[in-house]
Amino acid sequence: MIKIEKYNEYYEKYLTDLADHMDKPQEQSEPIHVGEKIKHMRETQGLSLGELAQKTGFEVEMLENVEQEKVIPPLGTMIRLSRALNTVMSSLFSDREEQKNYSVLRVSDQKSAPLPTGRASYHSYIPLAADLKDRHMDPFIVKLNPEKAKDVVPSVHDGEELIYVIDGEVKITVEDKVEILSLGDALYLKSTTPHVVITNTDKPALILAIMYSE
């Protein structure tokens, strides 16, 4: 058994390295260009931005910003976009077409979603099972940044999700109810209920988010 003091030391280093890694996705040799993939899928299916807006309920301007990677879409938005494009969300994060019955993501291979150049975002995330096709759960490590947290709008999408706090303090608003979660706390919700997930302090927070859709 590892002594609790040494365990805490390892965990603190893990959190520091993870947070630093998610702050610098632009330095990766092969960044994930989600916006380009969404645009490619839309054009391949012969959809205009207006038609995609009608299918998702999003504004055309917002979709343009997503495709140009000026903003990072929240996970709920990604789910609605992938459904409208008749694909699974994992396809937006992987170029691999091979069919596998399991997915392994090693630390050395982790990639964050692209951050918008010159803009602060309230979150960034790492997909944990992007290579596994035809699945029902989407697991992510999400970093909630304090920047622009006040601008976050409620998310609504099909399915259910589990949120587990890895570090920091998280504020989750479900309809009109506010829940404050700390390290080790978890919240499970029906994603069709309007909800907002942000850090509750002026420091970033890390969560494990697992989303399920039928």
pLDDT tens for residues 89-126? Answer: 766 766 655 557 777 777 666 666 554 444 446 677 77
Identify the residue whose tokens are 């959190």. Answer: 15
Please tell me the CATH superfamily of domain 4-212, with its number.
Answer: Jelly Rolls (2.60.120.10)
pLDDT tens for residues 134-192? Answer: 778 888 888 888 876 777 778 888 889 999 999 999 999 998 899 999 999 999 999 88
pLDDT value at position 60? Answer: 92
Q: How confident is the model at residue 7 (pLDDT cuts 50, 70, 90)?
A: low
Q: Which two tokens stand for residue 9?
A: 């030391």
Which residues are CB-neighbours of 129 under 8 A, at least 6 positions away?
90, 103, 105, 135, 137, 138, 139
pLDDT value at position 64? Answer: 92
pLDDT tens for residues 67-78? Answer: 988 877 777 788
pLDDT tens for residues 29-83? Answer: 455 678 888 999 999 999 999 999 999 888 999 999 989 888 777 777 887 888 8
pLDDT value at position 121? Answer: 61
> Could you tell me which of 93, 90, 94 has the C-alpha nearest to residue 133?
90
Q: Where along the chain do its domains lie?
A: 4-212
Q: How confident is the model at residue 6 (pLDDT cuts 50, 70, 90)?
A: low
Q: Residue 90 in contact with residue 127, Cβ under 8 Å? A: yes
Cα distances from 32 to residues 27, 36, 73, 123, 157, in angstroms, run: 11, 9, 13, 16, 23
Cα–Cα distance, 18 to 205 (Å, whole number): 11
